[in-house]
């Protein structure tokens, strides 16, 4: 007989990415008996880290948005985030350098200042148009936030309900309009159009195919500001691990789940690579959703796999970790160097004949805090097609390709004013193939499925699977990728499982 205070259910969480760790902490807080099983020897999944000599790097996220999602996790599992971690607003959101050489330093001090910065740098009607765009995106956020982001979503029903009950709101969301089209309508200045396009890639998507509702991404970034974790995102991973363990969760690394088993249609445990099993009343999968349904679930759910395969996988990323000697004058924490042919770049990343983009847009996150005295640690990221064979993918393990492309990326940076080629203590390369190996994400797709196509959000796997007892958490499930959404998915799954 269950006594008050007894753990309620045996829960196995498959994967210790941010979603898995957050779900583990929350569920253990509700006194469930939680075991996290992680295939790699490191925690954090895509939020990885790397050290060489006295240089330290985060290999995944570098920008924190919607910090309320982090605060919520820590307060709901015990003590506030401030007791374990320092979240700091960035001095400046980013420096953008457009292809014509124009530079905009975007402040992190509120929308008025941002509009002024765009106006001063771009002239024309840039400031006023940016402000109008922001106000419109704010309204869109108000419409979608509760029903589509913070609530469980399974299929198109909420969209249809909204269309029937509040047609004005549906016009606001405009699911038929692409982000590219919204940019063209909102801005005369092609540089602002290019600026908006980039936000599609925050969910691994093509702005020419993804819905205009992604305008809420820059809205959120500006409304709630850009943040960093003092000591790096790896400190967040450590703090989440510690919180989960403090609440009673067990975490096993270097332990791969090869099957999620069922009995009479209900989940009853997991089978590990060493042949042993872990019984469970509930399994929360932080593995990629397509892998879950196609390979892990025993027996697999082919109808779900067919549905998932209708969505385009998200793009991946090509990463350089640079140990840079000397200090760079006027260096910003986050810099975006836009390429000169956005469409060619999107074709290379998302088109059927994928290839490493030539003269790509380059994102640089640089700091002296994680480097030996007088040096800097640079994280460089370029959007890249996923690893694999067939349309839309390339073989990133082809001999020489990664090194050649690293040279190209460094040359593109040099051509746009950031030449560090003769100051490199070392360069480490991370390809989409490496990301696949490290995190089990097929092709190294960063966000599971992309938002390409107006139905993409409704094709995204729900947090509650059709198999009783099986739940999905993380970037390949609802509401999507990126730290805030992944943490929201953990909150949603915990609410669904509850105490019972």
* Residues forming the site for ligand FAD (CB under 6 A): 14-20, 37-40, 45-47, 60-63, 256-257, 286-287, 296, 317, 319, 381, 435, 439-441, 446, 474-475, 481-483, 486
- Using the minimum distance from each CB to ligand FAD, give the nearer residue, 162 or 320: 320
Closest approach of ligand FAD to the CB of residue 280, in Å: 13
Tokens at residue 429, please? 């390369």
Which strands, in side-by-side order, build the sheet including 257-263? 277-279, 266-272, 257-263, 297-298
385 with 348: CB under 8 angstroms? yes
- Using the minimum distance from each CB to ligand FAD, give the nearer residue, 458 or 489: 489
Task: Give the count of beta carbons closer than 10 Å to the beta carbon of residue 368.
Answer: 15
Closest approach of ligand FAD to the CB of residue 490, in Å: 8
Residues ≥6 apart with Cβ < 8 Å to 181: 212
Closest approach of ligand FAD to the CB of residue 255, in Å: 7
- Using the minimum distance from each CB to ligand FAD, give the nearer residue, 107 or 482: 482
Closest approach of ligand FAD to the CB of residue 317, in Å: 4
Closest approach of ligand FAD to the CB of residue 482, in Å: 4
Strands (E), 10-168: 10-14, 33-37, 49-52, 55-58, 87-89, 92-97, 103-107
477 with 491: CB under 8 angstroms? no
Question: What is the tally of helices (H) and strands (E) in the chain?
Answer: 17, 22
Closest approach of ligand FAD to the CB of residue 62, in Å: 5
> What sign does the dihedral 302-18-382-174 (CA atoms) show?
positive
- Using the minimum distance from each CB to ligand FAD, give the nearer residue, 246 or 256: 256
Closest CA to 440 of 301, 268, 275, 257: 257
Closest approach of ligand FAD to the CB of residue 18, in Å: 4
Residue 453's region, left for phi above 0, alpha for psi from -120 to 50, else beta, is left
ω into residue 479 within 30 of 0, thus cis?
A: yes
Residue 238 sits at φ, ψ, to 5 deg, of -60, -45
Grouping H, G, I as helix, E, B as strand and the rest as coil, residue 26 is helix
Closest approach of ligand FAD to the CB of residue 100, in Å: 26
Closest approach of ligand FAD to the CB of residue 462, in Å: 15
- Using the minimum distance from each CB to ligand FAD, give the nearer residue, 317 or 461: 317
- Using the minimum distance from each CB to ligand FAD, give the nearer residue, 375 or 381: 381
Closest CA to 247 of 31, 84, 487: 31
Instruction: Classify strands 103-107 and 92-97 as parallel, antiparallel or unpaired.
Output: antiparallel
- Using the minimum distance from each CB to ligand FAD, give the nearer residue, 383 or 452: 383
């Amino acid at each position: 007989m269950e006594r008050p205070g007894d753990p309620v259910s045996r829960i196995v969480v498959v994967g210790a990415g941010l979603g898995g760790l957050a779900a583990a902490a929350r569920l253990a807080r509700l006194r469930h008996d939680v075991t996290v099983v992680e295939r790699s020897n490191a925690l954090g999944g895509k939020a990885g880290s790397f050290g060489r000599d006295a240089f330290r790097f985060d290999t995944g996220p570098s920008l924190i948005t919607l910090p309320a999602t982090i605060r919520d996790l820590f307060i709901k599992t015990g003590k506030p985030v401030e007791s374990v971690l320092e979240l700091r607003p960035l001095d400046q959101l980013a420096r953008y350098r457009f292809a014509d050489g124009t530079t905009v330093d975007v402040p992190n001090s509120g929308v008025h200042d941002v509009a002024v910065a765009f106006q001063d740098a771009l002239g024309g009607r840039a400031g006023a148009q940016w402000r109008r765009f922001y106000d419109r995106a704010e309204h869109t956020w108000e419409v979608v936030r509760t029903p589509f982001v913070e609530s469980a979503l399974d299929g198109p029903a909420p969209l249809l309900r909204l269309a029937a009950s509040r047609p004005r709101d549906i016009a606001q969301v405009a699911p038929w309009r692409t982000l590219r089209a919204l940019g063209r309508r909102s801005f005369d200045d092609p540089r602002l159009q290019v600026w908006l396009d980039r936000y599609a890639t925050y969910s691994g998507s093509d702005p020419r195919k993804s819905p205009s509702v992604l305008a809420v991404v820059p809205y959120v970034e500006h409304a709630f500001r850009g943040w960093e974790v003092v000591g790096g995102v790896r400190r967040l991973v450590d703090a989440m691990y510690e919180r989960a363990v403090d609440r009673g969760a067990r975490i096993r690394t270097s332990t791969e789940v090869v099957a999620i088993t069922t009995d009479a249609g209900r989940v009853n445990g997991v089978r590990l690579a060493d042949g042993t099993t872990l019984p469970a009343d509930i399994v929360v999968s932080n593995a990629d959703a397509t892998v879950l349904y196609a390979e892990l679930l025993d027996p697999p759910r082919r109808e779900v796999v067919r549905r998932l395969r209708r969505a385009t996988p998200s793009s991946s990323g090509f990463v350089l970790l640079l140990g840079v000697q000397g200090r760079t004058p006027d260096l910003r924490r986050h810099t975006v160097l836009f390429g000169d042919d956005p469409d060619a770049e999107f074709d290379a990343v998302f088109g059927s004949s994928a290839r490493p983009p030539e003269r790509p847009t380059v994102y640089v996150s640089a700091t002296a805090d994680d480097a030996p005295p007088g040096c800097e640690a640079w994280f460089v990221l370029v959007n890249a097609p996923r690893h694999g064979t067939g349309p839309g993918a390339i073989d990133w393990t082809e001999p020489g390709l990664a090194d050649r492309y690293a040279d190209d990326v460094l040359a593109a940076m040099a051509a746009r004013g950031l030449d560090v080629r003769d100051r490199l203590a070392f360069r480490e390369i991370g390809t989409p193939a490496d990301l696949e190996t490290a995190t089990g994400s097929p092709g190294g797709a960063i966000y599971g499925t992309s938002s390409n196509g107006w139905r993409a959000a409704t094709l995204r796997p729900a947090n509650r699977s059709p198999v009783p007892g099986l739940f999905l958490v993380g970037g390949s499930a609802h509401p999507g990728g990126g730290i805030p959404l992944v943490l929201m998915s953990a909150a949603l799954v915990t609410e669904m499982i509850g105490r019972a």
